[in-house]
Amino acid sequence: MTDKTDPKTANQMWGGRFAAGPDAIMEAINASISFDRRLYAQDIRGSRAHAAMLAARGIITTKDAEAIGKGLLTVLSEIEGGKFTFQTALEDIHMNVEARLKEIIGEPAGRLHTARSRNDQVATDFRLWVRDQADAAIQGLTALQKALVAQAEAGADWVMPGFTHLQTAQPVTWGHHMLAYVEMFGRDAGRFRDARARMNESPLGAAALAGTGFPIDRHMTARELGFDRPMANSLDAVSDRDFALEFLAAASICAIHLSRFAEELVIWSSAQFRFVTLSDRFSTGSSIMPQKKNPDAAELIRAKIGRILGATVALFTVMKGLPLAYSKDMQEDKEQVFDAADTLMLALAAMEGMVRDLTANRANLEKAAASGFSTATDLADWLVRKAGLPFRDAHHVTGTLVALAEQKGCDLPDLTIAEMTGVHPAITQDVYSVLGVHNSVASRQSYGGTAPDQVRAQVARWKAALG
Would you name the residues annotated as active-site residues? 165, 286
- For 39, 240, 372, the CA distances from 437, given in Å and listed in that order, are 56, 55, 12
Distance CA 330, CA 36 (A): 12
Q: What is the number of alpha carbons within 13 Å of residue 165 lying toward its C-beta?
A: 2
User: Nearest Cα to 294, choosing from 283, 303, 282?
Assistant: 283
Distance CA 92, CA 79 (A): 14
DSSP 74: H
Distance CA 149, CA 181 (A): 9
Report the DSSP beta bridge partners of residue 167.
164
Contact 277, 361 (CB under 8 A): yes
DSSP 209: T
- Cβ–Cβ contacts within 10 Å for residue 167, how many? 8
Residue type, 327: S
- Cβ–Cβ contacts within 10 Å for residue 165, how many? 6
Distance CA 106, CA 63 (A): 13
Distance CA 356, CA 138 (A): 18
SS3 per-residue string spanning 352-370 = HHHHHHCEECHHHHHHHHC
